[in-house]
Amino acid sequence: MSNRKLRLGAFIQATGHHIAAWRHPGSQSDLGTNIEAYQDVARTAERGKFDMVFLADSPGIQNSIEGEEAGRYGRIAIFEPVTLFASLSAVTKHIGFVSTASTTYEQPFTLARKFASLDHLSHGRAAWNVVTTGNENAAGNFGLEQHPDHSERYERAEEFVDVVKGLWDSFDDDAFLRDKESGVYFEREKLHTLNHKGKHFSVTGPLNISRPPQGYPVIVQAGASEPGRELAAKTAEVIFTAWQTLEEAQAFYRDVKGRLAKYGRHPDELKIMPGISPVIGRTQEEAEAKLRELEDLIHPSVGYGILKRFFPGVDITKFDLDGPLPPFAETTNGNKSRLALVAELAQRENLTLRQLYKRLAGARGHWVVVGTPETIADQIQTWFENEAADGFNVMPPILPESLDTFVELVVPELQRRGLFRTEYEGTTLRDNLGLKRPESGYLLQREVQHTTQRSAA
């Protein structure tokens, strides 16, 4: 029998993933800037033995601030993730922290330093969700007239990750002696200056913090476009993705895992974790009633706001919500994979605009599962055992209520089936995910040189 275990992340979108969650009595409507509420959520996820807490982020407000719907969004004010996770690490012991940071709008040195610091503060529980930023609204916050092109963003991202890893290797693991007798604080020959000069970056280094406890914080990636898949195959250790059907998820799983060999990687070195947003009831009828209650809280103007991003240049408010959809955009400079997923969903199920925004309101195109703890566990098990997922990023529709319910009802069912841990396996996020600790690139270079010299002798 396989001893492979399910991986679970808790994706803690402020107030919950459903766009109307903040209006629900089970939500903490100020969660985005309420540190005590976030601490409770993190402790709940740790009580449920989750591998990690995941926080999405963008360097700018995601939603339009124009129109009637602008004042109705509930996730407009949120903490910066690394800052938040530094605080949460102090009230938890085991759970990892996945912080989103942009390769398009940040600089490698400051990002490398932030994440190395978080890894030290948390004793090896940090992860970086590498994003190129699909939010076109961000450009003006950084002095740009327009959002960089999709292909350019991914080219920059590849170089960015290489630079950050090089900076994390600035000191060898054993560089710091701190020997009071001899007066030697660190061994100078174990400090490395990067001196990177590339197409997008010129970074001298070294980083002014010791090597992270995990070697590198875990690298997470969320793109499913062609450049996104290739970047994940080369650099990612966890990939967060969105699929609606088992067949789509299996095809993606095979495709990305199949790309690893050309980068000298084994399939187990990448954990594929689709998003799942569970609406849980003790009966099927109760679960469906919970979903209808949330849907009834969506103001029509917010529904139109959800749809705008998928129909750029179209005044979507001129279309009947219960009528047919206008044509989808053929291309976008934002999130290409999500546009393709939503278009496929709408066309496959012949949805009206109202039906489409209700489907997207819960999880923005991720898989929404409505049912009892047993039926939700059935679905998770099917995907896990049929090469569609190594685990899931759980997206609670309402926070804290839905996460509390998942931990109370679904986690014990997964444990009963032998799919999920009952205790944490190690002390770092890498330990718990079953990922090896990477050696320093400089150490690997020395080993290659020694091998070459021995062969020549």
On whether the CB atoms of residues 353 and 307 are closer than 8 A, the answer is: yes
Q: In whole angstroms, what is the distance from residue 116 CA to residue 167 CA? A: 10
Digit-coded pLDDT (tens) for 337-359? 777 888 888 888 888 888 888 88
Mean pLDDT of the chain: 92
Phi, psi of 70, rounded to the nearest 5 degrees: -55, -45
User: Which has more confidence, 456 or 123?
Assistant: 123
Buried b (16+ CB within 10 A) or exposed e, 74-96: bbeebbebbebbbebbeebebbb
Instruction: Label the pairing between strands 126-131 and 218-221.
Output: parallel
Per-residue pLDDT band for 178 (boundaries 50, 70, 90) equals very high
Amino acid at 168: W
For the chain, the first-to-last Cα distance in angstroms comes to 48
Q: Is the pLDDT of residue 419 over 70?
A: yes
Lowest pLDDT segment from 219-228, 263-272, 273-282, 372-381: 219-228
Q: Cα–Cα distance between 116 and 121 in angstroms, integer?
A: 9
* C-beta separation of 180 from 141 below 8 A: no
Q: Are strands 238-241 and 271-280 parallel, antiparallel or unpaired?
A: parallel
CA separation for the pair 238, 389 (Å, rounded): 11
The pLDDT assigned to 300 comes to 86
Closest CA to 248 of 279, 228, 275, 267: 275
- Going by C-beta distance under 8 Å and a sequence separation of 6 or more, which residues neighbour residue 241? 222, 224, 249, 252, 272, 273, 274, 275
Which percentage of the chain shows pLDDT scores above 90?
A: 69
Whole-angstrom Cα Rg for the chain:
23
Neighbouring CB atoms inside 10 A of 437's CB total 14
**Which of 259-268, 278-287, 346-355, 375-384 is least confident?**
346-355
**pLDDT (tens digit, 9 = 90+) per residue, 106-157?**
999 999 999 999 999 999 999 999 999 878 878 888 888 889 888 889 999 9
389 vs 366: CA distance, rounded Å: 14
Give the distance, in angstroms, between the CA of residue 420 and the centroid of all CA atoms in the same chain.
20
Whole-angstrom distance, CA of residue 354 vs CA of residue 302: 11
Cα angle 188, 194, 196 (rounded to 5 degrees) comes to: 160
Tokens of 159: 């170089």
Lookup: tokens for 215 = 């070697």
* 7-295+366-453 homologous superfamily: Luciferase-like domain (3.20.20.30)
Q: What is the spatial distance between Cα 294 and Cα 288, in angstroms, rounded to a whole number?
A: 10
Cβ contacts of residue 347 below 8 Å, gap of 6+? none
pLDDT at 218 over 90: yes
Using pLDDT thresholds of 50, 70 and 90, give the confidence band for residue 174: very high
284-295 and 353-363 helices cross at what angle (nearest 10)? 110
Q: Compute the C-alpha angle 172/122/5, nearest 5°.
A: 95
Q: Which residue has the tokens 């496929």?
A: 344
- Whole-number Å distance between alpha carbons of 27 and 24: 6
The counts of H helices and E strands in the chain are 15, 13
92 against 352, higher pLDDT? 92
With tokens 């914080």, the residue in question is: 217
What are the beta bridge partners of residue 101?
130
Q: Note every long-range contact of 64-71, with CB atoms under 8 Å and residues 24 or more positions apart, other chains counting.
A: 64/137, 64/305, 64/308, 67/301, 67/305, 68/301, 69/299, 69/301, 69/302, 69/304, 69/305, 70/305
